[in-house]
Amino acid sequence: MTDKKTLFWFRQDLRISDNPGLFEAAKQGSIMPVYILDESGAKAFKMGSASKWWLHHSLDKLNQSLNNKLNIYVGNSFEIITNIIRENNLDAVYWNRCYEPWRIQEDTKIKASLRKANIEGASFNGSLLWEPWEILKKDKTPYKIYTRFYRDGCLQAPRPRVPLPKPEKLILLQDHSNRNTIYTLNLSPHKDWHKKLEPYWDIGEEAAQRRLAMFLSDGLLGYKENRNYLSKLNTSRLSPHLHFGEISPNQAWHSTQFQAAVDLGSLDADCFLSELGWREFSYYLLYHFPKLPRKNFQSKFDAFPWESNDFFLKRWKKGQTGYPIVDAGMRELWQTGFMHNRVRMITASFLIKNLLIHWHEGEDWFWDCLLDADLANNSASWQWVAGSGVDAAPYFRIFNPVTQGEKFDPDGQYTRRFVPELSKLPNEFLFKPWEASDQLLKASGVILGETYPKPIIELRDSRDRALQAYRMISGIRAHS
């Protein structure tokens, strides 16, 4: 170990174990751990309310693991890092890379400034299994089809690195001129809406490790089939922990492979690892196509006849569409800050294709409400459902909320939980209460239009309108 003094800049890597930048900094000498809340470049993608709530608690847990020596700042990262170096006579700045377009620009600027000042600057991969520039086709262009990216690219590349342990020793420095605390960031909501989230989540690095261990022991076997069923416990619920970096994808990858070897559950493990691969693909697309969060990848969708309907949009947001599986999903989002992935596809399809409302509206609502709101995942997934993205679902693939509910919530447990006003309806009519007799509705305590809304649109008509809209643009050449 040398006596180098290094500023380590925490960003979306709020953990001590398997933190490449922190691990290398610790080998060099003492460390000044820093977190900067800087949303100056984010513009429309400043953190949503749910994400801020999670970040507050995640930073609190990280600070505890650093013996309350995490240095907190608010403002422009370039200016703050420059000031910290000058005032504390530091020798180096280390950090793990982020992949949002404005962060890449920021990193480039900071590295150039450090070189000019003869100060070491080094960035590391702490968030992805493979760097986006490492996985390319033979002609050196990026993949645009997920299966080819994952099977021909990622799985043929060197395997993800083995997770690093916690640094053996952390010698931590504090910036004594800085008086900020986590509360200075003003992340915790002033109103009590967040109280409803607390029972559902345990936040921080240790909680993330427990969540992974629980999934591997109780949820991995049967994952391939059961992940689609809404009341089964075969989803990992790791996405918020991964987004904030409380756990690394490398830890999830290698732990899953180990568990698969123990349980002989290779098909289930392969399926879960391919979901980590989809996360990689989302970041890959964002890196190579930085306009993805707002611009249709297929330019023919620029001419799509979207409709503006505030009434429909509000009903969708509040879970009051009259379609129980859609409403259950939207209420799960509002109550828990999370939504089962199958229902994410159902609710997104309903907004885009049945209501003909622009995918931007759904993207924005999810961005504010999801605890795992992630620019790469959110934009790639909304474009996938819309049919406008790279390797997108065909536009004519329109999820039927009735048959989806009947198939993936066959006992109605999920839907009854989040739409309790329908809890007494028998399964036969749970997903289509408008088909139940007046006598049955009355016996079940349901008055359509009063205790539960009537459907805001008719499925067949809305499907026909969507397909007609698609045919209007189908002759326009797609973005290459």
Which residues have a catalytic role annotated? 275, 278, 306, 341, 359, 382
Helices (H) and strands (E) in the chain, counts: 20, 5
Question: Following DSSP, what letter does each residue of 405-455 receive, concatenated?
Answer: HHHHSTT-HHHHHH-GGGTTS-HHHHT-GGGS-HHHHHHTT--BTTTBPPP
- Are 364 and 47 in contact by the 8 Å Cβ rule? The answer is no
- Give helix 401-408 / helix 324-336 axis angle, nearest 10°: 70
Three-class secondary structure assignment of 138-197: CCCCCCCCHHHHHHHHHHHCCCCCCCCCCCCCCCECCCCCCCCCHHHHCCCCCCHHHHHC
Name, in order, each residue with C-beta under 8 angstroms of 178's C-beta and a sequence gap of 6 or more. 71, 72, 73
* 429 phi and psi angles, rounded to 5 deg: -120, 5
Ramachandran bin of 383, using left for φ above 0, alpha for ψ from -120 to 50, beta for the remaining angles: alpha
